[in-house]
Amino acid sequence: MVYVYFTEERHKQEELKSTTVKMAEESKVLNTPGAEKQTEQKLFDALRQELELYSSHLSYFDITYLASFRSDEIT
């Protein structure tokens, strides 16, 4: 029973990670010319706003979980 729980949680995490990668690839904030010149904090804040605006269907847990990834961990 515990194995099934961990398997389901792992699947949920992988699905969320996949969704995050897709959203990052489609992000207007990250794909704006000059985005690479912005500070990490400015990009993070703008991306968080974009996620909150376009992803209101995500729960608070999902948003917090997504925010816990550093950009080098997602790619």
- Is 48's pLDDT higher than 50? yes
Mean pLDDT (whole number) for 24-51: 87
* pLDDT above 70 (res 57): no
pTM (predicted TM-score): 0.49
Note the pLDDT of residue 75: 45
Mean pLDDT over each residue of the chain, to the nearest integer = 77
How many CB atoms within 10 Å of residue 66? 20
Residue type, 6: F
- Identify the residue with better confidence: 54 or 9: 9
The DSSP-derived string for 12-71 is: HHHHHHHHHHHHHHH-TTTTSTTGGGS-HHHHHHHHHHHHHHH-TTS-HHHHHHHHTS-H
